[in-house]
Amino acid sequence: MNLWNWLALGGAAVMALTIVAEIRRHTRTSVAGRRFFRHPTATPGLFVLAFFVTVALAAPLVAPYRPYQQIDIDRLADHAPSTRFLLGTDPYSRDVWSRLVYGARISLGIGALAMVVAVTIGAAVGAVAGYLRRWVDPALMRLVDIGLAMPRMFAMLVVVALWEHLAVPVFVLLIGLTGWFATSRLVRAEVLSLREREFVSAARALGAGTGRVIFRHVLPNAAAPIIVSAALGIGNVMLLEAGLSFLGLGVPSPVPSWGNMIADGWHKMAVAWWSSTFPGLAISLVVMALNAVGDALRDALDPRREAA
Amino acid sequence: MPTTRLARPLAALAALAALAGLILVAGCERPVGCTGEYCGTIVIASGGEPDILLPPVSEFSITRDVTDQLFLKLADLGPSGNTIGDEDFQPQLAERWEWDAPTTLVFHLDPRARWQDGQAVTAADVAFTYDAYTDSLVNSSFRSSLRHIAAVTTRDSLTVVFRFRQRYPEMFYDAVYHLRILPAHLLREIPRNQWRSAALGRAPVGDGPYRFVAWKAGESIELAADSTFFLGRPHLRRVIWRFTPDQQVAVTQVIAGDADAVEVLVSPDNVQRARADTNLATYPYKGSAYGYVGFNLAMPGDTTKPHPLFGDRDLRRALVMGTDRERLLRNVFGEFAKVPPGPLSQLWWIWDPEIRELPYDSGQAARLLTRTGWTDSDGDGIRDKDGHPLAFRLLLPTTSAIRRQYARLLQEQFRIAGVDVQLDEVDFSLFNERARAGRFDALLNVWNTDPTPSSGFPQTWTPAGFGRSNYGHYDNPDVDRLVDQAVASAANRDQARRAWRAAVETLNRDAPGIFLFATANVAAVHKRIVGVTIRPDSWLALLRTWRIPPDRLTDRDRVER
Amino acid sequence: MAAWLVRRLAASIAIVWAVATLTFFVIHLARGSPFLPEQSQHTDLATLDRLRREWGLDRPLPEQYVLYLRNLVRGDLGESFGLRRPVADALADAIPHTFTLAFAALLIDFAVGLALGIYQAVRERGVGDIVLGNAALFVNSMPTFWLGLVLLLVFAQRLHWFPVGGPSDPVLCPRVDSLPCLLDFAWHLTLPALTLGLVGAAGTARYQRAAMLEVIRQDYVRTARAKGLRERRVLLVHALRNALLPFITLVGLTFPFLLTGAVLVEWVYAWPGMGRLAVTAILQRDYYVVTGAALVTSAMVVLGNLIADVLYAVADPRIRVRGA
């Protein structure tokens, strides 16, 4: 870690603080915003997320080494944390900090993308089911029941077992496809109550088609459960990806992901605990932040609930 | 909140529970169990599991470790490890032998030998075994080692006659080392092509020092000592192999005291931890293994066509020259291995660091690649030619931490040279299937060699091993010729050495693989087990002489089952 | 009530059937699957013949599907090539191990979670509440396998307080048939159950705290306090009883989590349950085992939900009247 890296890291922290401050400022006037920040863990959670995202984006600036770089395989492997290697090196003499930072791109990226897929499908299905009722609703909800029957991990294991050499984009898509069921239920519940409201009948009276009503009028008002699902969903995806990569079934070597970093260092845990410990800590921190923000969002956006 | 009223009855309850627990545990009768010289259980932690316990159809060294306790050979290697002539061999199934003629060897079986179902071991069993090992339906990998034997016949129930095609120095070794004598009366009925899935292979009946007890797939194999074994009752009453997902977990179990022995400690820090452990004794011994990246010279799935990448000799040579084997070795093994000058293990007498091989020269490697048309025309860091990137998949098993480590190190070395390598990490049994079927681009393999190169080398690097150990389909008539010459002149050390050296140097020029390491093994065995002698070619060969002094028996050792 | 039960049962069976059908089609779409006769990689001829006969591997797809369903109903889930035994047998051996692990984890989960949640609710906004609350949030966010690795390293490898894995000592206790062996089993069970249970406990604690707080503020609690009942009685009898109701749903929700988390925990601790069986099978491309395990897991999740629904209906009369 040289001076520029430290400066960049400091800059990222400052940037994250600024982002959080800006968000606070802009939401001070809204009721939801005030309710959000009343949670003691909301601000730290937002900061952690902003920090990790900033660091991930600024990876080349913050990381002193490239993620694949095996620096000196016979002298610097399994090196303890020091001033040169902030979090030590792994058994292949790769800088753990650099891999952590680049791994953030992969792990956070997979989390976000898979979540987008899952939430999009879940929201669409839930909205259609809740709005159309008739036979569409029970049919779709049976589909959801089937989807909820198989634990996500097992579904992914089955898929990975049957397809060899899964490309990462397909992997992300599949994670998304296995995770939209809970969201659809939430959205459906919300839409069920919304469809009786006046703005819906007004839109219909004006001649809007079903699709338009659903996607332009109803869904935006059902945003609350969607947003909360999204926040919590990323955390679940990150944990799932970490587990699969740990088993060797996720992101392939040498691409760093927090999950396969834990796998790389597992066998040397007794003599070099840092390779596996820090990626795990990173996952825990980010998921914790996501949980905190998700909780705060749920309380902020749901007008009927009382703050606990 | 006032808690005193609730606290008192709770505390009383806790005390009562603790007292009851103490009484129960203390009052438990310690089982008296086994006492004396012939007790003891040894738990061996192993990162791999046998496929089938029938010697002719399996190549795994873990299988061999188990079957060597169940089945006897006619004679076995002595402590010197000398494979020439017959003076240094020890009688096993055969109590004595003589040469009727220069190419006729007569064995006299020990009349005391019995199969574990009571039947006597006869010469007919030996003849049957030879027939099975050389039968193409059984397709044993040891078949080519026995090609110099013309016939095996029986003179009477205890006399067997081996007739050879010609005279050569390692005749006796070939006759005895690979043949594990099988029970003809039990195997005769089973069709030869079904031996690989025979039920007898899951519950074998042998004549060795130990008898089969149980095999829990994926978990353990248990053997029990045969107290009537004619060569001396084994001291250790039971032997249990415990299977772990990989070798590193096996080492962890031994260090934690959950297992008693492990064949190889794998890495320098493991050796350090084992040495620091007061309960373990470490035993260094000459390594019989060498590891390499093998290229598939034929097209996966169609051996008549050359591999699109590795059919090109220059490409292979470039890849070998671009690999810094010394540094890779130091990362993985520290000082516990050496870079071999060819497909050799440290056990082999032909080991010679002076043997000429391709040097590590990344500059020359790069130039060679460019000269053969592989350039990075699209700037993505990976070389390409005619629109195809220089990319291949490396096959390796998940059970070996060493190979996993090498794979990742190699991946990066190749990436810097402009070669894209993706890793195929599969289970050990799947790895072996794919290797034998030739369904791979390159694989990371480790061979546990025989004490002499005469049988193993041709099997891996000449056409005699096609469909068996010669996974990469390497074939060079010059090498074949030189190997034959070397084997024939084994008695004359200098002549043989020259011939072997020429053979290895010719092979090195063809670069059928990157020879990465030749191990120097360190085993760890619990200190209470004494009399531990390890033969480098098969570490458990002398297991029946290991023992636990009666005053060092633990609870595990006293179990009577 | 009875009609409702029958409807739910029928729905559950339908869901399991749907999952089985989906699994069947997914396998057939995959290349290299042993369901396709020419793709078989294994040399065990006798087994291959039997499979060909009983599963109709060379028949057209609809026929294979019918045979597949028939075999499922008969309890035949195919053959494991890696373990050389019927999948149903392998699963039958593995399921009890997963169950004991999940059950022990559930106990820890609820014991710790309940205690923590109540304590936090009572000491609301106090130092204890904040510290424990954040600690619980942190533990709940951890990857379970990572916690497992850390616990293994510290308590088993460094301190030697617990064994490094496995369900029992293979020499002394191959079967749990005596008290010392039971204790040995419990000793081996501790770390894996703690790993699974603690992560869940953190979540339970958060949930329980919120539930308790909601109830505490309600009128009938105030009434009880006004009546002069002692604090402890108020808490334990009134508040807790009503906060416990959603617990049943919590069990239903926790169960799939346990089954999922168990996969990785079993892998780390070499615990011979369904999760480890499934992962090993994947690495060996032992397809029948993978699909069998997935199917059985789904069936267990559906069953768990059904039981949870029934318990809920029994406990809360409002549900019954609504006729959900």
DSSP B552: G
Please say whether the beta carbons of B276 and B538 come within 8 A: no
Higher local confidence (pLDDT), B412 or B16: B412
For A272, name the nearest residue in chain B, comparing CA atoms only. B269
Pairing, β B388-389 against β B420-426: unpaired
Task: Report, as an integer, the average pLDDT of B442-447.
Answer: 95
Three-state SS annotation for B36-56: CCCCCEEEEEECCCCCCCCHH
**Most confident range, picked from A18-27, B19-28, B64-73, B243-252:** B64-73
- Contact C180/B at CB under 8 A: yes
Q: Give the per-residue pLDDT at B329.
A: 94
- Nearest to residue C120, comparing CAs of C34, C16, C26, C201? C201
- Exposed, middle or buried: residue B449 (CB in 10 Å: 0-12, 13-18, 19+)? buried
DSSP A71: -
Q: Sorting pLDDT into bands at 50, 70 and 90, what band is C220?
A: low
Please say whether the beta carbons of B76 and B535 come within 8 A: no
Higher local confidence (pLDDT), C106 or C260: C106
Cα gap A108→A29, rounded to integer Å:
31
Q: How big is chain A by its Cα radius of gyration, in Å?
A: 22
Please say whether the beta carbons of A20 and A50 come within 8 A: yes
Range of weakest confidence among A64-73, B232-241, B273-282, C243-252: C243-252
Contact between chains at A70 and B273 (C-beta distance less than 8 A):
no
Region at C146 (left for phi over 0; alpha for psi -120 to 50; beta for the rest): alpha
Question: 203-262 in A: which are within 8 Å (CB) of B?
Answer: 248, 252-254
DSSP B30: P
Please say whether the beta carbons of B453 and B348 come within 8 A: yes
- For residue C254, the tally of other CB atoms under 10 A from its CB is 23
Question: 182-221 in C: which are within 8 Å (CB) of A?
Answer: 209-210, 213-214
Cα gap B76→C205, rounded to integer Å:
66
Q: Sorting pLDDT into bands at 50, 70 and 90, what band is B186?
A: very high
- Exposed, middle or buried: residue B356 (CB in 10 Å: 0-12, 13-18, 19+)? middle
Range of weakest confidence among B525-534, C46-55, C156-165: C46-55
Q: Give the per-residue pLDDT at A103.
A: 94
Contact between chains at B249 and C270 (C-beta distance less than 8 A):
yes
Q: How big is chain B by its Cα radius of gyration, in Å?
A: 27
Contacts of C140 in chain A (CB under 8 A): 288, 291
- CA–chain centroid gap for A83, Å, is 31
Ordered alpha helix ranges (H), chain A: 3-27, 31-38, 42-57, 59-62, 96-132, 136-149, 152-162, 168-177, 181-194, 198-205, 210-212, 219-221, 223-246, 258-266, 274-301
For B269, name the nearest residue in chain A, comparing CA atoms only. A271
Q: Give the per-residue pLDDT at B23.
A: 53
Interface test with B, best of C171, C267, C283 (most B CBs within 10 A): C171
- Contact B401/A at CB under 8 A: yes
Q: Give the per-residue pLDDT at C39.
A: 39
Give helix A152-162 / helix C274-284 axis angle, nearest 10°.
20
- Nearest to residue C116, comparing CAs of C186, C220, C190, C200? C200
Cα gap C59→C39, rounded to integer Å:
14
Contacts of B422 in chain A (CB under 8 A): 165, 252
- Nearest CA-CA distance, residue B422 and chain C, Å: 17
Summarize pLDDT for A148-167 with one digit per residue, the tens. Answer: 888 888 888 888 777 777 88
Kindly provide the ipTM of the predicted complex, given to two decimals: 0.87
Indicate the Cα dihedral angle B220, B225, B230, B235, nearest 10°: 120
DSSP B530: B
On the question of pLDDT at C320 being above 70, the answer is no
| DSSP track, A194-242 | HTTSHHHHHHHHTT--HHHIIIIIIHHHTHHHHHHHHHHHHHHHHHHHH
Q: Sorting pLDDT into bands at 50, 70 and 90, what band is B177?
A: very high
- Residuewise pLDDT in 10s, chain A (308 residues): 788 899 999 999 999 999 999 998 888 888 888 888 888 888 999 999 999 999 999 999 999 999 999 988 888 888 999 888 999 999 999 999 999 999 999 999 999 999 999 999 998 898 888 887 788 888 888 889 888 888 888 888 888 777 777 888 999 999 999 989 988 888 888 888 887 777 777 777 777 777 777 777 777 777 888 888 888 889 989 999 999 998 888 888 899 999 999 999 988 888 899 999 999 999 999 999 999 998 888 888 775 554 43
3-state secondary structure of B149: strand
| DSSP track, B531-547 | ----BTTBTTTTGGG-B
Q: Give the per-residue pLDDT at B27.
A: 44
Q: Sorting pLDDT into bands at 50, 70 and 90, what band is C317?
A: low
Cα gap B7→A45, rounded to integer Å:
39
Please say whether the beta carbons of B441 and B435 come within 8 A: no
On the question of pLDDT at B474 being above 90, the answer is yes
* 3-state helix, strand and coil shares in percent for chain B, rounded to the nearest 5: 35, 25, 40
Q: How big is chain C by its Cα radius of gyration, in Å?
A: 24
Residue type at A285 in one-letter notation:
L
Q: Give the per-residue pLDDT at B106.
A: 95
Query: Which chains have 3 or more CB–CB distances shorter than 8 Å to chain C?
Result: A, B
Angle ∠(B241,B243,B246) on CA atoms, nearest 5: 135
Q: Which residues contact C127 (CB under 8 A, 6 or more apart)?
A: none
Complete edge-to-edge strand list for the sheet that includes strand B521-526: B210-216, B220-225, B238-243, B41-46, B261-262, B521-526, B280-285
Q: Which residues contact B422 (CB under 8 A, 6 or more apart)?
A: A165, A252, B391, B392, B393, B394
- CA–chain centroid gap for C36, Å, is 32
Summarize pLDDT for A8-19 with one digit per residue, the tens. Answer: 999 999 999 999
Summarize pLDDT for C175-213 with one digit per residue, the tens. Answer: 777 888 888 899 999 999 999 989 888 888 877 777 777
Indicate the Cα dihedral angle C110, C111, C116, C122, nearest 10°: 100
Please say whether the beta carbons of B137 and B192 come within 8 A: yes
- Contact A161/C at CB under 8 A: yes
On the question of pLDDT at B28 being above 90, the answer is no
Contacts of C84 in chain B (CB under 8 A): 202, 217
Return the structure tokens found at B240.
């249990």
Contact between chains at B197 and C47 (C-beta distance less than 8 A):
yes
Ordered alpha helix ranges (H), B325-427: 325-333, 362-371, 401-416
Summarize pLDDT for B276-327 with one digit per residue, the tens. Answer: 989 999 999 988 899 999 999 999 878 889 999 999 999 999 999 999 999 9
Contacts of C278 in chain A (CB under 8 A): 154, 157
Between chain A and chain B, the number of residue pairs with CB atoms below 8 A apart is 47
Return the structure tokens found at B547.
């023992």
